[in-house]
Amino acid sequence: MTAPERQSWRKIRDRIHDAILSGRFAPGERLPRDADLATELNCARATVQRAMQDLADAGLVERRRRGGTTLRPDPVTRATFEIPVIRREVEGRGARYGYQLLRQSRAAPPRAIRAAFDTFDTTPMLHVEALHLSDARPYLLEDRWISMDTVPNIASIDLSRTSANEWLVLNQRYSHGNLHFSAETADAKTAGLMATNEGAALFVMERTTWLESAPVTHVRAIAAPGYRMHARI
Amino acid sequence: MTAPERQSWRKIRDRIHDAILSGRFAPGERLPRDADLATELNCARATVQRAMQDLADAGLVERRRRGGTTLRPDPVTRATFEIPVIRREVEGRGARYGYQLLRQSRAAPPRAIRAAFDTFDTTPMLHVEALHLSDARPYLLEDRWISMDTVPNIASIDLSRTSANEWLVLNQRYSHGNLHFSAETADAKTAGLMATNEGAALFVMERTTWLESAPVTHVRAIAAPGYRMHARI
DNA sequence: TAGTGGTCTAGACCACCGG
DNA sequence: CGGTGGTCTAGACCACTAT
């Protein structure tokens, strides 16, 4: 028995990945347990665990206690993208950032917002509509609802000076959230606010976040024509 | 000195996160080294490492050897989304999947494709245009270039039966890639293929992948009106 | 209830990079 | 060159869940 070699968990991961692509395991089949793979690959179990965690994150395998590691019959591609604070995003392109608070009120969230939060609770929330500008031109139009129960401090913020987007990123933690992206046609009202023509194709992002089971914020943001979102794999 | 408590790295992460949100550290400031935090939080250094890795993944801090851990002055939100095999995506909605190979050829990649791959190489690649159908209606129109140098086996695949999308996900590994999302207006030709009207807002995805420094594939996919992409944080 | 992945610890060495 | 994060090991115990 030779001593375990010093090797990166990435190499272990790639060796396992290659074994999978070689067809050694059938889709849905159970792979050897970590401990056995560690022996076979001559490394510590923690190293196999790290490699497997990465393959699971990548969507190639599924891992369950007691159920073992199985090869996903429907492998997916997972990608990560970054959503910067809007001001940073604009300034990062060398443009001058502008911000305009359009409306602010307290109201019971309408049905669509309650549905996004997956709740029936009609407790009033903070409703904010704002426009982000790049070199004085419309860049992003946001319609946001913020839970004052979960984020009580938001009440003391002057949202005509600081955007809710920026304040929340810097001051509010959340545990998880959903995002939806789509393409929509500009209606007359939106076209007016975005200084474009009715019928233009607009990129729309919707984001809902929670802190554990408590709603934090829901935002629907409409980007100006030409907007491109970038992500990495 | 009490013995280290048994606590999850998530709790350690949240305690550090809360300390950051409390304003204990200024943006750009250097945080204590892992070893010191471990002592302060009464846990092993590896646990702090795991917690910090997560905060770095989340975009809140930056970590550098020798340079220590610094609070990002421009925190970002990172989200992950899954790109399933198109067939699975369609069937997962209970619809019948259809696939139609429109064109297939070998040609030198045009300038735009070379730019996406960040190369000047004009070695011929496999060019494939195909249409994915959901219940016999256009679902996704893809225009793909595949490197025959990096993916030689693709030459032996009958792409009129198996979509390149599916074959690549199941058989080709890649190391990294870029994605771009945008909203575009349907031109006459596209509208015809997608069975929609000219001027409709369409969701467009572009993906480029590499295996180390070698190009794998570039695809530009146009989704039918109403398409929504989903992601999680 | 037993088996498997998930996490924690303590210690060690490595890799990178700022001074 | 020295300091810091990154990784590895060996062993232990915990948490979840298939059987």
**pLDDT at residue B212 greater than cutoff 90:** no
Q: Is the CB of residue A42 inside 7 Å of nucleic acid strand C? A: no
**Length, in residues, of chain A:** 233
**pLDDT at residue B1 greater than cutoff 50:** no
**pLDDT at residue B183 greater than cutoff 90:** yes
- Residue B183's DSSP bridge partners are B203
Across B204-219, average pLDDT = 91
Q: Give the pLDDT score at A232.
A: 76
Q: Give the pLDDT score at A5.
A: 59
SS3 B39: helix
DSSP chain A: -PPPP---HHHHHHHHHHHHHTTSS-TTPBPPPHHHHHHHHTS-HHHHHHHHHHHHHTTSEEEETTTEEEE-SS-EEEEEEEEE-HHHHHHHTTPPEEEEEEEEEEEPPPHHHHHHHT------EEEEEEEEEETTEEEEEEEEEE-TTT-GGGGGS-TTTS-HHHHHHHH---SEEEEEEEEEE--HHHHHHTTS-TT-EEEEEEEEEEETTEEEEEEEEEEPTT-EEEEE-
Q: Are A78 and A233 in contact (CB under 8 A)?
A: yes
Using a CB-CB cut-off of 8 Å, the residues of chain A touching B173 are 14, 17-18, 21
Across B34-46, average pLDDT = 91
Q: Does A102 touch chain B (CB under 8 A)?
A: no
- Residue–nucleotide distance: B80 CA to D16 C1' (Å): 25
CB pairs under 8 A between A and B: 155
Across B9-22, average pLDDT = 90
Using a CB-CB cut-off of 8 Å, the residues of chain B touching A14 are 173
- Position B10: which residue type? R
Across B22-46, average pLDDT = 90
Q: Does B22 touch chain A (CB under 8 A)?
A: no
Q: Tell me whether strands A125-134 and A201-211 are parallel, antiparallel or unpaired.
A: unpaired
State the smallest CA–CA distance between residue B13 and chain A in angstroms.
Answer: 12
Q: Give the pLDDT score at A1.
A: 44
The pTM assigned to this predicted structure is: 0.81
Using a 7 A cutoff on CB, list residues near strand D. Answer: A 3-12, 43-47, 50, 64-67; B 6, 31, 33-35, 45-46, 49, 52-53, 56, 63-69
Nearest CA to B93 among B105, B84, B101, B102? Answer: B84
- Here the tokens at position A152 are 């009580």
Q: Are B165 and B97 in contact (CB under 8 A)?
A: no
Per-residue pLDDT of chain A (233 residues; tens, 9 = 90+): 445 555 689 999 999 998 988 888 888 889 999 999 999 988 999 999 999 999 998 888 999 999 899 998 877 777 778 777 888 889 888 899 999 999 999 999 999 999 999 889 899 999 999 999 999 999 999 999 999 999 999 989 999 899 998 888 878 888 888 889 999 999 999 999 999 998 899 999 999 999 878 899 999 999 999 899 888 77
State the smallest CA–CA distance between residue B124 and chain A in angstroms.
Answer: 25
Per DSSP, B153 falls in state G
Chain A stretch 63-92, residues whose beta carbon is closer than 8 A to a beta carbon of chain B: 74-85, 88
Chain B stretch 147-206, residues whose beta carbon is closer than 8 A to a beta carbon of chain A: 169-174, 176-185, 199-204
Q: Does A45 touch chain B (CB under 8 A)?
A: no
Q: Give the pLDDT score at B5.
A: 59
Contact B76 A84 (CB under 8 A): yes
Nucleotide closest to B45 measured between CA and C1' = C9
